[in-house]
Structures are given as C-alpha cells and as structure tokens.
C-alpha cells in the first residue's frame, strides 16, 4: 500500500483508508476480522464521525479496541464532529468551542482511546467563529486529546478563513469525489466556456489544496449522486461499466479497484475513503494501490461517465 504525507505534516498515511460509517450492523467478530485484514493490507487509517449510527459506529469500534487493545497503536484514528441532530431528526451545524470540546470527550469515551490522531470538522457551519474554533483546537492539542486537525466539505475560502485563525495546520479536507462525482475537476476542464458543468462550486478547491499542501480525502468513491447507489454494474451507466470492464481486463484488476485507481491517478494525491463492510471486497480494493492508469485511459473513463471534452 502506497502512503501519502498527510497535509505535508510528516504523518504517513495509506492512500486508501477505511470509512466506518456503515459498521453499526456488523457482527463483532466480523468487524474485528475486517479491521485486522485492513491492517494486514496496510490500511491503518480509520475514519469515523460522531453522527455515524448516532454514535453507534464509534461505540462498536471502541468495544473492539477494548477487546483487542493492541490494535489501537497500529492505527491512525480520525473522527469528525460539527453536525448535530435532535430526537425529532432536525439537523444543524455547530463549530462552537463548547460543542467541539464536548464532542471530543464523547468520541474518546466511545472509541476507548486517550487520543484522536485527527479531528475533522464535518460540514461548514455558516455561524463559524474562526477564533472560537482556534481556542478549541489549541486546548485539545495542549491536552494531548487531539494530535492533528482537518475539515470536510469546505470550499477553498472557508478553509483559508479557518486556517487564518487556527495555529495548527489543517491537514485534510474530506470531499465527495469519484468517477461520477467529479465536480472538482469538471469546471477546471471547462474554464472560459459555457459548457455544461463549467460552474465552479468549490472555489478551485483541488488546486487550492495542492498549492497549500492539504490532502483531499475522497469520500463515497463508488456512489453516484448523494447516496443514490453504487454505479458499478448499475444498468443506469452502461457506457461507463463497459469501459471499466475492458480496462479492468487490461490492467488485471477488478472494476471496483479500477474506480479507486482512477481517483488515485490524480496528481493531487488524494486519499480514498472506502466504506465497504465486506472483507473480500476490501482486499480487492487494495489492489488499486499498484495501478497507474495512462492519461488516455483516465480520460477515457471520464468521458465514458458522460463528460465531454472540447
């Protein structure tokens, strides 16, 4: 498994990470096997959030760490906070100092650990006070509860605004990115045109992150739309699947691995966060790390997904 220097910080992380959003319903033994297999494959980075399963995903993972305490030190453990929900299902965002500090204490308790390797702010809070976030981060760093910090779903100016206030380098920005959710590259390919998908929705985020050494973590690499389903072997995308079938044969990997290799081929050196709960699939996905797609094939997949080049 190739590694990435996360946010140019010296923290070396695997280019494929395991997301834990879907683990709540896994059997305990299956989860432990899944995690041990991930570690064996070099996937020692695990992504959580307090809202996954309303805390159940962190709790289940923590119970596993309690049963197998030797695993914790082999991992880079990341969780996210900042999304709130009440019992009626209403949702809002909260980057207040009080909420961030409370979230970390709760996450540490659920995960049965004394430290988070990374804390990520989950979705931009329109009411964010950067100085308040900075105070929370400094307190968390000084106490040793959090070693590094990052954000998720932020455009480049939001990231710059927050970075201007916090003392710690923001190492990561977690964004949805895949063959069928490629907005971060679409607009740059259509600059100066009125072509469809020419609008920039994230403030040139990919180039911003490359310029400032922030690692983009690509979430939901196999989904289309916002959790509408998996595009692989989906009859809605015949041209794309046909292209992936032929290139999978050429590169000697599965279509699943190829979909990850397409993201890894981008020179921004993104980290891909996969959410599979199937251990055989995870092992298969890891074969993507050795695949170097040619430019012709990378663009071929992009076009088979319905994108036009001028």
Ligand X SMILES: NC(=O)c1ccc[n+]([C@@H]2O[C@H](COP(=O)([O-])OP(=O)(O)OC[C@H]3O[C@@H](n4cnc5c(N)ncnc54)[C@H](OP(=O)(O)O)[C@@H]3O)[C@@H](O)[C@H]2O)c1
Q: Which of the residues are catalytic?
A: 52
Secondary structure (H, E, C), 243-255? HHHHHHHHHCCCH
Total binding residues for ligand X by CB under 6 A? 23
Pairing of β 170-176 and β 146-152:
parallel
- Closest CB to ligand X among residues 33, 193: 33
Binding residues among 150-169 for ligand X as defined by CB under 6 A: 152-153
Q: Establish if 273 lies at the interface with ligand X (CB under 6 A).
A: yes
Beta-carbon neighbour count of residue 24 at 10 Å? 18
Binding residues among 47-76 for ligand X as defined by CB under 6 A: 47
Shortest reach from residue 21's CB to ligand X, in Å: 3
Secondary structure (H, E, C), 60-117? HHHHHHHHCHHHHHHCEEEEEECEEECCCCCEEECCCHHHHHHHHHHHHHHHCCCCEE
- Closest CB to ligand X among residues 19, 190: 19
Give the pair of three-digit tokens for residue 263. Answer: 């993201």
Q: Establish if 95 lies at the interface with ligand X (CB under 6 A).
A: no
Give the pair of three-digit tokens for residue 10. Answer: 């010296």
Distance from C-alpha of 257 to C-alpha of 224, rounded to nearest angstrom: 16
Shortest reach from residue 91's CB to ligand X, in Å: 13
- Closest CB to ligand X among residues 265, 281: 281
Q: Establish if 21 lies at the interface with ligand X (CB under 6 A).
A: yes
Map residues 173-202 to x or -, x wherever contact with ligand X holds by CB under 6 A.
Answer: -x----------------------------
Under the rule (CB under 6 A), what is the footprint of ligand X? 19-22, 47, 152-153, 174, 219-223, 230, 232, 256, 273-278, 281
């Amino acid at each position: 498994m190739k590694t990435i220097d996360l946010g140019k910080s010296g923290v070396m992380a695997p280019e494929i990470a395991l997301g834990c959003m879907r683990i709540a319903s896994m059997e305990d033994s299956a989860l432990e096997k899944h995690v041990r297999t991930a570690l064996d494959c070099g996937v020692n980075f695990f992504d959580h959030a307090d809202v996954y399963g309303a805390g159940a995903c962190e709790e289940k993972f923590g119970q596993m760490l309690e049963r197998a305490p030797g695993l914790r030190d082999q991992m880079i453990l990341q969780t996210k906070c900042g999304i709130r929900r009440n019992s009626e299902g209403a949702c809002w965002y909260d980057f207040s100092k009080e909420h961030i500090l409370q979230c970390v204490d709760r996450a540490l308790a659920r995960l049965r650990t004394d430290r988070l390797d990374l804390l990520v702010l989950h979705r931009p809070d329109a009411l964010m006070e950067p100085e308040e976030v900075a105070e929370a981060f400094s307190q968390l760093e000084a106490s040793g509860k959090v070693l590094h910090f990052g954000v998720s779903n932020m455009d480049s100016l939001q990231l710059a605004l927050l970075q201007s206030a916090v003392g710690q380098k923001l190492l990561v920005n977690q964004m949805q990115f895949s063959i069928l959710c490629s907005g971060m590259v679409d607009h740059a390919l259509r600059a100066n045109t009125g072509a469809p998908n020419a609008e920039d929705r994230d403030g040139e985020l990919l180039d911003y992150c490359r310029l400032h050494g922030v690692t983009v973590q690509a979430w939901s690499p196999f989904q289309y739309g916002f959790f509408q389903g998996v595009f692989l072997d989906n009859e809605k995308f015949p041209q794309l699947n046909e292209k992936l079938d032929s290139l999978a044969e050429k590169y000697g990997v599965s279509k699943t691995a190829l979909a990850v290799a397409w993201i890894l081929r981008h020179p921004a050196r993104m980290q891909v966060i996969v959410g599979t709960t199937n251990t055989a699939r995870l092992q298969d996905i890891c074969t993507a790390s050795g695949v170097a797609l040619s430019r012709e094939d990378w663009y071929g997949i992009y076009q088979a997904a319905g994108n036009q080049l001028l």
